[in-house]
Structure 1
């Protein structure tokens, strides 16, 4: 498995796990509260930072476990850099994920034009960023297993 593919797996896991944890923290806060009363800035900042940390940790753990597994099997650990196929898959997944995030950004602009509370604008942008990341990573993994 190339380093790029490890990163895609780690990204998918990070987006899903952090998104679920963020939802578990925020949904109870939203129930019965006015948007202006909800504390959301720090949870969102922590969630965004956590995505980066989880991706890095995932790649490190995946690389180490792959090396240990190869060593136990008596093989030489390989750390592939990737090739042209990895670049094509990366561009394909990024294009799809960014398309989703772009449409969500349009939604945020529409909300801002209608003077919607910044809480909802931030939640929409965060959600479409997560959704774009999940879709992009899932499409990349499908391309790795089945081709484009």
Structure 2
């Protein structure tokens, strides 16, 4: 497995685990509560920071475990990365319509922010899955 494929797996793992914890924590407060009173800002900042930090630490750990593969990329890796990022961009572009619509409908900021965060999560996860599939099934 190339280092680029490992990075895609790590990114996918982080893109699933961290948001699941965030959404489980924050959305569990929604039933029976006015969402305007739910403190979501710092938990969201924390989730974003933990996601970035976990991605960095796990990628460094993978490079330490397999130092010969670290940093080696070829044209196929670059094409797969480009394709995954391209698809992720389109997912983000389409998913961003939801928070935009919520803002236009003057829905509470809580829902707008969480919809935007979910759009980023979906884009990251889609990008990783596209890359993993390209590595596994061919490009």
Shorter chain as denominator, the TM-score bin is over 0.9
Structure whose CA Rg is larger: 1
Which residue of the partner structure matches residue 8 of structure 2? 8
Q: Deviations over 1:42-90 (max 9, x none)?
A: 00000111111111111112122234xxxxxxxxx34352011111111
Which residue of the partner structure matches residue 56 of structure 2? 56
Matches within 5 A, 1:9-48: 9-48=9-48
Structure 1 vs Structure 2 CA RMSD: 1.4
TM-score normalised by structure 1 residue count:
0.87
Aligned residue pairs total 139
- Segments of 4+ moved more than 6 angstroms: none
Which residue of the partner structure matches residue 119 of structure 1? 110
Q: Deviations over 1:4-50 (max 9, x none)?
A: 22221211111111011112211211121111111000000001111
Q: Deviations over 1:113-133 (max 9, x none)?
A: 111111101010101111111
Moved more, 41-50 or 98-107: 98-107
Aligned partners of 1:2 and 1:80 also within 8 Å: no
Which residue of the partner structure matches residue 128 of structure 1? 119
TM-score normalised by structure 2 residue count:
0.92
How far has the Cα of 1:137 moved from its partner? 0.1
Q: Name the SS for the 2:28 alignment partner.
A: helix
Which residue of the partner structure matches residue 71 of structure 1? none
Which residue of the partner structure matches residue 72 of structure 1? none
Q: Give 5+ residue unaligned stretches, structure 2.
A: none
